[in-house]
Amino acid sequence: MGRRRKWEKYRSLGCAPFWRRDPGYPAISLASSLLRRPLSATPVAAASFSECWAAGSRVRLLQAVDTEHTVDSVEWCPLEGCRHLLACGTYQLRKPEDQPADPESKSGLDVDEPQIRLGRLYLYSFNEDSSPCPLVEVQRRDTSAILDMKWCHIAVAGHALLGVADASGSIELLRLVRSENSYTLQPFSRFALGKQCLALSLDWSTGKAGRASDQPLKIISSDSSGQLHLLQAYQAGPGMQAVGTWQAHHFEAWAAAFDYWQTEVVYSGGDDGLLKGWDTRTPGTSVFTSRRHSMGVCSIQSSPHCENILATGSYDEHVLLWDTRSMKQPLADMPMQGGVWRLKWHPFHCHLLLAACMHGGFTIFNCQKAIEENQEAFPVTPSYTLPSSLVYGADWSWLYFRRLPQTHPSFCLGSSPGSDPGAKTADAVYTLKVAAQSPAPCFERLADADGEGGTKHQSGGKLKTPLQPFAEDKNGSQLQASGIKICDCDHYLEAANFDISLLATCSFYDHVLHLWKWESS
């Protein structure tokens, strides 16, 4: 099948890959038109999926936040003491103000005219005192359009670091700075990958626990010209240096990722439909090339829990699970209902895999049988679709739930803004209780005074699509449960209940960040 025909399906759905509308991101025209609608006219969710059961598990929508721009990336901070922080990146394509879009154009854009790629980075705090809307915006920062983000898994020079791949063709590192009452992400260092390219993805070499202290801190990135860039970040202070750059794909290199168990090895996926492995000590020739995916490979993640396990996703609507010791055939082939833009292994549950599947919503897979018995993996949730949207970003929260004895005092011991990231403190425990609403724009599921279920924006305007309130909503809290606490450090891992998890997704058409609670029975 020719490259043009491969993408025909996605063109018709309005979700063609980046360069079909603009060398920057898909689905821009509809997303841009939605931005011009009144907020109350933007649908957020339907009652039919406000609560969903499958294979003994349940997903609940806790909060939906309007990001104003089209949104494509969400990342929870993995460092202890900072795990309540969530970064959200946006990509917005706009015409110059003096060049209004042609109303007769089907796409809403004239591809011959220059476009402006705008981005915004949001930082949210999962706030223990705001259970109706637990995500509270603590910072917004206008940037170049953001295509990917990753937190470093270790503190660098005493700070948490967020790496950002943007449309200016740069990798920027932002350090998390704690003030008396809040957090901010501040510029730390920047590295330009090249001229006239977009930075499409990045990954840190720190994804696996137990990293040696003398191991170099590395970043692998990919760009729109098909190149990979290996960078080394200085651990004592700001700065990055190039270690190597090489041509990996004939077209866009959508994804690049480390093998967390052998960080000299990296993987890449491109618009040419190829999955490749590389030894960065001799990067000129690939270690392997797989043509198992039939369309562009756009998501890759090495398992941080199981050595030799790799997950890949593609526009061909399949997730493949690999044993990297034998790349001829995958361990499992999991069909999706949309192109797989991101894959995320659960930070603690070693067999759970979260997939962001564009127009197919998101799905959670249990891969235990595939890994241990060479059988097919099975979904623990159905494809969880959102109307008129494309799910591009998804991530598990590193916060976890633990059950306390009945005699435990009912008070909160929250991590303070001044706590050191990475410090194993016993006071980073969150208890959720009823309090004031979040100042961040959000949609919340509450019952009206007359008992009618509906979805209200924080400002009070009612949305067209109602959501049925859950039983716990009627009591004023969506997460509160007897003897359940949320923890921000590893001190209580032995008492953790991994059958309950928080996760975030972001959808492109309707520019909404979603917070979910997943429960398995």
Alpha-carbon torsion (106, 111, 115, 117), positive or negative: positive
How many angstroms separate the Cα of 471 from the Cα of each of 186, 217, 446, 476, 477? 41, 47, 10, 9, 9
Q: Tokens standing for 506?
A: 């972001």
pLDDT at 225: 97
pLDDT tens across 288-302, in order?
A: 999 999 999 999 999
Q: In terms of pTM, does the model score above 0.85? A: no
DSSP state of 414: P
Q: Which of 216, 163, 224 is nearest to 193 (CA)?
A: 224
The edge-to-edge listing of strands for the beta sheet with 199-204 is 199-204, 218-223, 227-233, 240-247
Confirm if 319 and 307 have CB atoms less than 8 A apart: no
pLDDT tens across 472-505, in order?
A: 443 444 555 556 788 888 887 877 877 889 999 9
Mean pLDDT (whole number) for 74-79 = 98
* 76 vs 150: CA distance, rounded Å: 9
Q: Is 125 helix (H, G, I), strand (E, B) or coil?
A: strand
Domains of the chain, earliest start first: 66-95+114-403+498-519 (2.130.10.10)
Place of tokens 């949207």: 389
pLDDT at 452: 33
Least confident of 57-71, 229-243, 348-362, 431-445: 431-445
418 strand-pairing partners: none
Question: Which has more pLDDT, 38 or 517?
Answer: 517
pLDDT at 211: 74
Backbone angles phi, psi at 371, to 5 degrees: -75, -45
pLDDT at 277: 98
Q: What is the mean pLDDT of the chain?
A: 77
Backbone angles phi, psi at 65, to 5 degrees: -115, 130
Q: Tokens standing for 512?
A: 């909404």
Q: Is 41 helix (H, G, I), strand (E, B) or coil?
A: helix
454 strand-pairing partners: 446
Q: Which amino acid would we find at residue 287?
A: V
pLDDT tens across 408-430, in order?
A: 443 333 443 344 454 333 333 33
Q: What is the dihedral angle through the alpha carbons of 302, 303, 307, 312, rounded to the nearest 10 degrees? A: -50
How many CA atoms, within 13 angstroms, populate the side-chain half-sphere of residue 182?
A: 10
Backbone angles phi, psi at 408, to 5 degrees: -65, 135
Backbone angles phi, psi at 33, to 5 degrees: -65, -35
Q: Tokens standing for 469?
A: 């309130």
DSSP H helices, 103-221, are none
